[in-house]
Every structure is written in structure tokens, then in C-alpha cells.
Amino acid sequence: MSAASFSLICLPYAGSGAGFYRPWNALRSHGIQVVPLQLPGREELFLDEPYEDVAEAAKALAPKVVDLVGRQAPFSLFGHSLGAVLAYELAREVELLGGTRLSHLFVSGSPGPWDGRAERATGMDDDEFVRRIGEFAGYRHEAFDDPDLRELLLPLLRTDVAMHENYKPVSDEPLSVPVTSLRGADDVLVSREQAHGWSASTTGRFTYREVPGSHMYLVDSPQSVLDAVSAELSGTEAELSGTESGTSDTLAG
């Protein structure tokens, strides 16, 4: 089936919101409908209490996803870093609901769900926390150089980071939906081996793809994400890469 028939539900990474993904719909070279999923505590939901637990977030979000896409339309899930584990648990909840056409799970910039990050930022003072997050992400957002913006953004970022660092999978039972793990080729936070850890998360097809860039490659090259998604959803993996599932395929950004 053509990728043009699919909606791609996108989960935010720590500290971000649906607004990060909204410009992606201007890049419809493959006709993918990007559907950003907003979380409480950010942007238009700024006054709502943010989630503090990945599993609870997934339970709350699953019915909203069904409302967004319906039970007849095929859709896929995409998440980067914190968004990856949110998308994974959300996929489980959607499978439990049944009657939906979840076709694929795309996880990006994340070790497998059983391999949490060894280094932590939770509990550090503000300056050290911002410095550590910059190390994790591979870049420093300019908003943290503005004292007023920093004071506004830090509480949500701290909550998201703690939620991510405290995450434990709900179940060891694998999903049935195909899973693709994406990773920036120069990512020093998540290794190739760690990104391959997602292979145990599904009884369906697993593929691993590298794209140019570091951990936050999708900030500079969202097109690389859509290229990878389109290739998987269009069933052209073998034609594009000439490789078997689980092998590396580097895409141009």
C-alpha cells in the first residue's frame, strides 16, 4: 500500500511538543500525513499537568489516537528518545484496544526498551541539569540562554527527563506490529548495538536504519525521517537497500 494512505502519529521528545512536528506536513514529498500528538504541560496544553509515568501516559493517549485516526484508517507511530518509549507503550495499548489498523512502529534515537540510559540528569541543580541535557542531546537549545525562558521551560523538561530515566517496560511480551529503529550515524548517546535492542520488541519484522547526523538528527533533517518511513510503508526496503531485516541502511538526508 502506498505511504500516501498512511497517517504518522508523532510523539514528542523530552521538553518538546506537537509544534515541533507540524512543519513536517510541508514536506509531503511522499504524501505522508504527519499527525503530531500533543502531550499535557506544553504549548496549548501548558496549564495541564504533564504526565510523570510512561505507562500511564500510554493508557491515557491510546483512546485519543483512536479518535484521531479512527478504526478503519491505517496509521503508524513515531517517537524520538522519550517519544520512542512513549510510542512503544502506546503501540501496546492500541493493540490491546483492538480493532485498529496500526501498521508500524518507528522508534528513533533510543536504546531498546530494556536498556535504560546509565547516566542520569534527574536531581541535578539547574546549571548542571542543563549542561547534562546538552551532552545527551548533542546540542544546546538557545532558549536556555534566556533566563526567563529557561525558568519557564525547565519544570516540564525536568518532568519529562525523570519520566524517561525512570521508565521500565510494562511487559516483556513483544508486540506483533513491525518495528523500525532509526539512529543518527554519529549518535554518541545511543550506540548501534543499543538501537538494535529493539529487535526483541516485536514478533513482526524488524529493521534498523541509520541516517546522517547525531542524536538530534531530526532537528536538521526531518526529511530523512520521512524518507525512511516512506520506504518502510511502501514496502521498498529490499529495493532501496538490498539488505535483510536487522541490517544497517544509511539514507541520504
- CA distance linking residue 156 with residue 143, whole number of Å: 14
Q: Select which of 7, 16, 81, 230 is catalytic.
A: 81
> What length does the chain have?
253
Q: How far apart are the first and last CA of the chain?
A: 24
Residues 177, 201: contact at Cβ < 8 Å? no
Query: Of 210, 10, 180, nearest to 105 (Cα)?
Result: 180
What is the C-alpha to C-alpha distance for residues 85 and 89, in angstroms, rounded to an integer?
A: 6
81 catalytic residue (yes or no): yes
| Dihedral, 77, 78, 81, 87 alpha carbons, nearest 10 | -10
CA distance 234 to 195: 23
- Comparing C-alpha atoms, which of 20, 18, 34 is closest to residue 233? 34
Query: What Cα–Cα distance (Å) separates residue 236 from each residue in 1, 65, 105?
Result: 11, 27, 17
Catalytic positions are 81
